[in-house]
Amino acid sequence: MELGIKGMRVLITGAGRGLGRAAALDFAREGCRVAAVSRNEGRLDSLLEAMGGTPAGHAALALDLLEPGAPARALAALAPGGAFDIVLHNLGGTLEQKDPLSPAEAWARVWRFNVGIAIELNNLVIPGMAERGYGRIVHVSSISAESVRGSTPYAAAKAYLNAYTKGVGRTFAARGVVISAVMPGAFEAEGGHWERIRGANPGLLADFLRHHQAIGRLGSPGEITPFLMFMASPHAGFATGAVLPVDGGTM
């Protein structure tokens, strides 16, 4: 299927490794102009080179989006004279806050990492998309929003993200801006949680797969990025507010 996204400008957060890097490379292969944001400058340099660099229209910015005002600074640096057609919010994680009795401040920091940064960026890009009559915003959520396993602050933040996606998606549905979320299940990526578990505690991994993965294995970034790209394409015009599980039959 021809996705119809060639030449579009794509902003991807959390692009330094794992799913974000895989998505950036796939969008670049489709002929998009990718602007990648990550805290790790070395990883961004590697990604930028792999995509074809600035001559191919790509850009990268090393920035910690948790810093106050960072989302606005990122847009000012990456799109000073234009706008993005597609925004992929891949930034997120537990921030090692797994205790349900974590202080409220810790819950708030996890919320900001997984939701607040996306809201700040969206508030800046959605008005222009609505004015132009076209835009795609895709949030990387998590099946944890439904299963509530692992980190409770993280699961709660992703559940909030899903509700936000549906509500804001409905608000802009008639103006050509499709806002959606994809909920990956457990997948293995370089430097990720499950890669560490496989190395440190293979018994725990085997137990998880036996009890919670109908497919009997972990996923891979390459099995998730096609869904992100489809939701970012013109073909997803009727999917506003959609929250799509891609989870290997999580139980």
- Give the pLDDT score at 196: 83
Amino acid 130 reads A
User: Which overall architecture, per CATH, does domain 9-184+224-244 show?
Assistant: 3-Layer(aba) Sandwich (3.40)
Among candidate residues 39, 40, 45, the one with its CA nearest the CA of residue 64: 39
- pLDDT (tens place) for every residue of the chain, 251 residues total: 899 999 999 999 999 999 999 999 999 999 999 999 999 999 999 999 999 999 999 999 999 999 999 999 999 999 876 699 999 999 999 999 999 999 999 999 999 999 999 999 999 999 999 999 999 999 999 999 999 888 999 999 999 999 999 999 999 999 999 999 999 998 888 777 778 878 887 888 788 888 888 999 988 999 999 999 999 999 999 999 999 999 999 98
Q: Record the tokens describing residue 200, joined without a space.
A: 């440190």
- Which residues have C-beta within 8 Å of that of residue 40, sequence separation ≥ 6? 16, 17, 62
Distance in angstroms (rounded) separating the CA atoms of residues 225 and 228: 5
pLDDT of residue 224: 97
Asked whether the beta carbons of 27 and 52 are under 8 A apart, the reply is: no
Reference 173, options 142, 204, 135, 209; nearest CA is: 135
Number of Cβ atoms within 10 Å of the Cβ of 42: 10
Extents of the domains making up the chain: 9-184+224-244, 190-221
> Which pLDDT does position 91 carry in this prediction?
95
For 83, list phi and psi in degrees, rounded to 5. Answer: -145, 165
H or E stretch at 171: helix 152-171
CB 179 within 8 A of CB 168: yes
Q: What pLDDT, on a 0 to 100 scale, did the predictor assign at position 33?
A: 97
> With 0-12 CB in 10 A as exposed, 13-18 as middle and 19+ as buried, what is 34?
buried
Under 8 Å between Cβ of 146 and 183: yes
